[in-house]
Amino acid sequence: MSESLPHAHSRRTMLRTLAVTALAAPIALRPLSSAFATPAATTLWHPNPATDGLKAFEGIEADRVGKHPDRKYVVVEGGDHYRFNIWKDDRDSTGGGDRQRTESKGMVQNGTALKMKNGETWTIAYDMYMPSSLHGTDKFTHIFQTKTPSTNGGPWVTIDLSRSGSTEIIQARAYSNSGSPAIAKTDLAPLRDKWINISLTLTPGTKGACTAIIRSGAGSSAPIAAQGHMTGVNIPDQGDYVRPKWGIYRSVQSASSDILDTYLLFKNYTATKN
């Protein structure tokens, strides 16, 4: 027994030494910023007009009764942007002849329609060119809408060109909320005849949210002309999904001087899901 004690003591000493050494050594752990980082947003829609053409959309709504088969309503122009044309004598099949429409609907990437659902957060961004022939009106003129396909519900959030006397305004609106309040708005005149940038961050739901940014130049680094954020925005998927629409949808009951042959240009569409 007396001969075994030094061996036992030596073994215990060695174990204590190893334990202290292990505690003193740095432990390889993931940084907190990595462990708890928000997942990166994913860009799901980024159509190329030259190669995707009108397949970038679920469909086109224009001259739905075929009154003007010779007219080209939505076309790829210059290989890098879409042109949406409308004529003052166009009439949509809805509304009893009081409105006109040239719109694209939906977002399609590689043949798959993208669908915005309640509780998700999406950022839709694009560059847009508005000519001087496209006016704000005293009745409705939507150049962007969100709707629910299965119910035809909405429009929920819109971008409108409106008029108050001689002042024309571009504004993002919570259109289905009481009073259709503006989320962001600014004078239209300085934004015409050049490329500008629009960004909308949407969280669908009956109590959803929207952030709208209108920039006075192309791209996400252009100066901000107007911006705003609103919660409690009614953007419900109603058990289906929320679908964006682009183009010109307007009442012809506005002053005839504001209903002209005109067009809109769009490029650099993206849709990112957070």
Task: Express each pLDDT in 14-57 by its tens digit.
Answer: 434 444 333 333 333 333 333 334 457 899 999 999 999 999 99
Which range (27-36, 67-76, 227-236, 249-258) has the least confidence?
27-36
What's the pLDDT score for residue 39? Answer: 56
- As beta bridge partners, residue 256 has none
CA dihedral (210, 197, 267, 168) positive or negative = positive
In the chain the domains, ranked by start, together with CATH numbers, are 35-273 (2.60.120.200)
Residue 206: name the closest of 178, 176, 236 by CA: 236
- Asked whether the beta carbons of 200 and 221 are under 8 A apart, the reply is no
Cis-peptide into 244, omega within 30 deg: no
Q: Which amino acid would we find at residue 227?
A: Q
51-69 average pLDDT score: 97
What band does 140 get if pLDDT is binned at 50, 70 and 90?
very high
Q: pLDDT, tens digit, for every residue of 179-225?
A: 999 999 999 999 999 999 999 999 999 999 999 999 999 999 999 99
pLDDT at 9 over 60: no
212: nearest Cα among 126, 109, 108: 126
CA gap 162, 49 in Å, rounded: 29
Rounded to 5 degrees, φ, ψ at 13 are -60, -40
User: Which phi and psi angles does 211 have, rounded to 5°?
Assistant: -115, 130
> What's the burial of 113, exposed, middle or buried (CB within 10 Å: 0-12/13-18/19+)?
middle
- CA gap 266, 274 in Å, rounded: 23
259, 84 in Cβ contact below 8 A? no
**pLDDT for position 66:** 96
pLDDT at 41: 84
Query: Which pLDDT belongs to residue 36?
Result: 38
Radius of gyration of the chain (CA): 28
The predicted structure's pLDDT at residue 254: 96
C-alpha span between 120 and 138 (Å, rounded): 34
Question: What pLDDT digit, counting tens, does each position of 16-25 carry?
Answer: 444 433 333 3
Q: Note whether 107 and 271 are within 8 A (CB).
A: yes
**Cα dihedral 197→45→111→128 (10° resolution):** 0
* Cβ-based burial of 228 (10 A; exposed 0-12, middle 13-18, buried ≥19): middle
State residue 3's pLDDT score.
38
Percent of the chain with pLDDT over 70: 86
Q: How confident is the model at residue 135 (pLDDT cuts 50, 70, 90)?
A: very high
**What is the mean predicted confidence (pLDDT) over 226-246?**
98
* pTM, 2 dp: 0.85
Residue 11 has pLDDT above 60, yes or no: no
Mean pLDDT of the region 225-232:
98
Q: Are 239 and 246 in contact (CB under 8 A)?
A: no
Region of residue 198 (left: phi > 0; alpha: psi -120 to 50; beta: else): beta
What residues does 221 pair with on adjacent strands? none
The DSSP element (H or E) to which 123 belongs, if any, is: strand 122-129
In this predicted structure, which of 94-98, 145-149, 193-197, 205-209 has the lowest mean pLDDT? Answer: 94-98
Q: What's the pLDDT at 32?
A: 35
